[in-house]
């Protein structure tokens, strides 16, 4: 149903109509819409000039549902519901956002009116909360966010947002990030988030007026052996499926793209021409500027002491001002978002929320000026050498993700940590520098201007933490980005904003959903041990069936020792040691990783035939157990299960 409204000549209007509406403002057009919706299309709307040209065009656009009249409240409730539907129109969607509102009472008489309206609101099935003066202190629906989350909330129309920063924006780990913006991730959905980030950075400077330094120089990953080349080619196949521009290239083509690189020992590589680089500080400031332009408030030098939790729900934060006064303040909110980086685990722990991450030392060097380097040099990744190479203002930046990392901050992180670097450790990076010099020989004759060591946050499974905490309602998390925070920031901020405002994630985010975290993972010894391994996983071989090597044996079945005696090769799932296959006598039960036929293939086949032709015992101690009770338990189980459940006890 749609009426066409257009300018017409007087003789084209006709002499008769069932209904003539005078005035093309919001009221006239609403009457026209509803008549047509009821089947009355013989309607003529007359406007002396243009639609909305009277007073509608400059209206503030507020859609309140507050009224002291029950009838008017019903009309306003209908209007809000109508606008929600019109916003979904595929052809002509309106810009409608539910942001809520706060009304203030300066007298008891006004409070009496509010209580009266609240009673009517309940009768109309409408939400209406009465707040104390303390709860009205900066009444905002979001506290403690990262700049990307605040920016995307503002884009969605949620401008009642406060961002709190302990010192200054970017002062934790963002300021020293290398600024790489890759797009290909391990799964389709994570790649979609990285692609969104790239598209966001393309336009962010134009939208905000703040320079970001974004350039799409592309990236090249190289393989010195067939195993690594196989991995890169598999990644290229995924990239094509995900819609990325990708090329499998020869050593000669690598030399053409990165003339300074040594290629005589390479098998091949992969080129992603639309990968980019960005200035992390400038980009953060651009997001902050964009958020501020929409009304978001950003306060620096405000320490969040704790998240306020009542009845299992986050309702605000307690803060201390960092201006020397040490003044305390509470801010109440509907949602709290923990984007506190290295401090996110401690902040979450204090609120009863699991945020398993640990800081580790991350090293890079910056050379003196290199006259022969091109400002458009693609980012070069040499995963077998654990390193990446980036042109940086006429110099060369070289960083590493080594297989044995150095966890940091085991005894806590100082409140004064701000734009701070960690002590150099040349002994630790010496073999990494040697590998980098092999790949980029000019390092052997170029001076080093900066040896940098700074912390980054890592999670036990090398995937970041995003979404609403399962432990505390309305407490959201965006932390533990495992050194891919820059390339993930745009997409992560976008989906988190959607999640908060819509009450559900906009896509499948289980790969990074914070709900996958387990209680035992808040253990500091566990996190320390696992972080030794996880930093290097970014550039390690991503073998099929690969199992973590550190922090093992956390959760074991009572049958574990007996299974081990019989040659079990264990894998880890949610901390549980689970038997994946059995090695025969004389064979060591361990994986020999490959992209080809697995070393356990024959043993697994023997187990299959044994169970198929005889009988087998499966240890399912690690599986979840659910107790269903109540009058409908049987019918529910029969719907879930393949076989009939209503059988005598003891029968399968």
What pLDDT digit, counting tens, does each position of 433-468 carry? 999 999 999 999 999 999 999 999 999 999 999 999
Is pLDDT of 108 > 70? Answer: no
- Tokens in use for 592? 């020999």
Which among 149, 193, 166 has a CA at the least distance from the CA of 463? 193
Mean pLDDT of 2-20: 62
Please give the Cα distance from 473 to 334 (Å, whole number).
10
Strand 407-408, strand 358-367: pairing: antiparallel
Q: Tell me how far CA of residue 531 lies from CA of 197, 457, 480, 543, in angstroms.
A: 26, 9, 12, 19
- pLDDT, averaged across the chain: 88
User: What does the radius of gyration of the chain's CA atoms come to, in whole angstroms?
Assistant: 30
Mean pLDDT of 186-210: 90
CA dihedral (446, 451, 456, 461) positive or negative: positive
Percent of the chain at pLDDT exceeding 70 = 95
In this predicted model, which residue has the larger pLDDT, 618 or 2? 618
- Which of 66-75, 280-289, 631-640 has the least mean pLDDT? 66-75
Half-sphere exposure at residue 234, Cβ-oriented, CA atoms within 13 angstroms: 14
Residue 542 gets which letter from DSSP?
A: -
Backbone angles phi, psi at 626, to 5 degrees: -125, 135
Please give the Cα distance from 246 to 272 (Å, whole number).
5
- Tokens in use for 588? 């060591």
Which among 270, 216, 219, 184 has a CA at the least distance from the CA of 378? 219
The alpha-helical segments, DSSP class H, found in 470-541 are 485-502, 524-534
Please give the Cα distance from 487 to 280 (Å, whole number).
10
Which among 625, 599, 616 has a CA at the least distance from the CA of 563? 616
Q: Which pLDDT score, from 0 to 100, does residue 106 have?
A: 62
Residue 18 CB neighbour total at 10 angstroms: 10
Q: Tell me how far CA of residue 347 lies from CA of 151, 408, 481, in angstroms.
A: 23, 17, 17
Hunting for tokens 């506290």 — which residue is that?
Answer: 143
Q: State how far Cα 157 lies from the chain centre.
A: 20
Angle at 23 between CA 21 and CA 28, to 5 degrees: 65
Fold (CATH) for 147-218+274-520: FAD/NAD(P)-binding domain (3.50.50)
- Which of 286-300, 344-358, 373-387 has the least mean pLDDT? 286-300
List pLDDT tens digits, range 32-59: 889 988 898 888 888 888 888 888 878 8
What residue spans in the chain does CATH classification 3.50.50.60 cover? 147-218+274-520
Is pLDDT of 6 > 80? Answer: no
The helix (run of H) or strand (run of E) holding residue 44 is strand 43-46
DSSP class per residue in 58-75: G---------SSHHHHHH
- Which of 157-171, 477-491, 553-567 has the least mean pLDDT? 157-171
Please give the Cα distance from 363 to 402 (Å, whole number).
9
List pLDDT tens digits, range 112-169: 788 778 877 777 777 777 776 545 544 433 333 357 777 777 777 777 778 888 888 8
Which among 365, 383, 384, 389 has a CA at the least distance from the CA of 259? 389
Is pLDDT of 529 > 70? Answer: yes
Q: Which pLDDT score, from 0 to 100, does residue 145 have?
A: 35
DSSP class per residue in 302-331: EEEEEEEEETTEEEEEEEEETTTT--EEEE
- Tokens in use for 442? 């000019």
CB of 580 within 8 A of CB of 604? no
Percent of the chain at pLDDT exceeding 90 = 56
Q: Which pLDDT score, from 0 to 100, does residue 132 have?
A: 63
Mean pLDDT of 490-507: 91
3-class SS of residue 185:
coil
Beta bridge partners of 43: 19
pLDDT band at residue 412 using 50, 70 and 90 as cut-offs? confident
Is pLDDT of 573 > 90? Answer: yes
Please give the Cα distance from 634 to 645 (Å, whole number).
7
Mean pLDDT of 69-81: 85
Mean pLDDT of 625-645: 90
Q: Which pLDDT score, from 0 to 100, does residue 276 have?
A: 92
3-class SS of residue 337:
strand
Is pLDDT of 268 > 90? Answer: yes
Q: Which pLDDT score, from 0 to 100, does residue 287 have?
A: 87
Which among 281, 340, 283 has a CA at the least distance from the CA of 306? 340
Q: Which pLDDT score, from 0 to 100, does residue 107 have?
A: 64
List pLDDT tens digits, range 214-249: 999 999 999 999 999 999 999 999 999 999 999 999
Q: State how far Cα 11 lies from the chain centre.
A: 60
pLDDT band at residue 294 using 50, 70 and 90 as cut-offs? confident
The helix (run of H) or strand (run of E) holding residue 466 is strand 465-468
Please give the Cα distance from 238 to 626 (Å, whole number).
37
Mean pLDDT of 347-373: 94
Mean pLDDT of 384-402: 95
Residue 555 gets which letter from DSSP?
A: B
């Amino acid at each position: 149903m749609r009426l066409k409204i257009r300018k017409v000549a007087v003789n084209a209007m006709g002499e008769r109509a069932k209904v003539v509406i005078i005035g093309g403002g919001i009221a006239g057009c609403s009457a026209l819409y509803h008549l047509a919706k009821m089947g009355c299309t013989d309607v003529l709307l007359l406007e002396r000039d243009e639609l909305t040209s009277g007073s509608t065009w400059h209206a503030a656009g507020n859609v309140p549902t507050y009224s002291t009249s029950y009838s008017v409240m019903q009309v306003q409730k209908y209007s809000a519901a109508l606008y929600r539907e019109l916003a979904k129109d595929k052809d002509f969607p309106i810009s409608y956002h539910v942001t809520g509102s706060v009304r203030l009472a300066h007298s008891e008489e006004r409070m009496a009116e509010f209580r009266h309206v609240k009673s009517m609101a309940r009768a109309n099935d409408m939400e209406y909360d009465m707040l104390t003066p303390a709860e009205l202190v900066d009444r905002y629906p979001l506290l403690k966010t990262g700049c990307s989350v605040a920016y995307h909330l503002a884009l969605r129309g949620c401008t009642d947002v406060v961002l709190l920063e302990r010192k200054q924006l970017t002062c934790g780990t963002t300021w020293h990030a290398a600024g790489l913006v890759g797009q290909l991730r391990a799964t389709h959905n994570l790649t979609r988030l990285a692609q969104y980030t790239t598209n966001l950075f393309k336009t962010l400077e134009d939208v905000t007026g703040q320079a970001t330094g974004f350039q799409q120089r592309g990236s090249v990953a190289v393989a010195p052996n067939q195993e690594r080349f196989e991995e890169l080619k598999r990644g290229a196949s995924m990239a094509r499926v995900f819609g990325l521009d990708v090329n499998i290239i020869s050593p000669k083509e690598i030399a053409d793209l990165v003339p300074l690189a040594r290629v005589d020992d390479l098998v091949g590589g992969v080129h992603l021409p639309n990968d980019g680089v960005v200035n992390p500080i400038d980009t953060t400031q651009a997001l902050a500027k964009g958020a501020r332009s929409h009304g978001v408030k950003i306060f620096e030098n405000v320490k969040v002491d704790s998240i306020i939790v009542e009845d299992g729900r986050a309702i605000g934060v307690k803060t201390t001002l960092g201006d020397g006064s040490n003044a305390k303040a509470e801010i109440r909110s509907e949602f709290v978002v923990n984007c506190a980086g290295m401090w996110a685990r401690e902040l979450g722990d204090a609120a009863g929320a699991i945020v398993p991450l640990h800081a580790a030392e991350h090293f890079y060097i910056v050379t003196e000026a290199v006259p022969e380097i091109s400002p458009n040099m693609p980012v070069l990744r040499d995963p077998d050498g654990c390193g990446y190479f980036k042109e940086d203002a006429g110099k060369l930046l070289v960083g590493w993700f080594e297989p044995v990392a150095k966890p940091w901050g085991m005894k806590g992180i100082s409140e004064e940590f701000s734009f701070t670097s960690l002590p150099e450790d040349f002994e630790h990076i010496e073999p990494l520098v040697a590998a980098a010099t092999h790949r980029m020989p000019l390092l052997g004759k170029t001076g080093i201007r900066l040896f940098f060591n700074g912390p980054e946050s890592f999670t036990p499974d090398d995937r970041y933490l995003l979404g609403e905490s399962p432990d505390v309602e309305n407490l959201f998390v965006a932390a533990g980005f495992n050194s891919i925070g820059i390339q993930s920031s745009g997409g992560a901020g976008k989906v988190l904003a959607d999640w908060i405002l819509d009450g559900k994630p906009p896509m499948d985010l289980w790969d990074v959903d914070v709900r996958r975290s387990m209680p035992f993972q808040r253990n500091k010894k566990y996190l320390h041990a696992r972080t030794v391994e996880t930093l290097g996983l970014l550039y390690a071989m991503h073998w099929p069936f690969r199992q973590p090597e550190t922090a093992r044996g956390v959760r074991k079945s009572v049958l574990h020792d007996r299974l081990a005696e019989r040659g079990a090769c264990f894998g880890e799932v949610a901390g549980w040691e689970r038997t994946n296959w059995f090695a025969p006598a004389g064979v060591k039960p361990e994986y020999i990783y490959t992209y080809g036929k697995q070393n356990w293939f024959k043993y697994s086949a023997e187990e299959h035939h044994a169970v198929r032709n005889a009988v087998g015992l499966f240890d399912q101690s690690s599986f979840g157990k659910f107790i269903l009770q109540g009058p409908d338990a049987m019918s529910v189980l029969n719907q879930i299960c393949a076989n009939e459940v209503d059988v005598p006890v003891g029968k399968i």
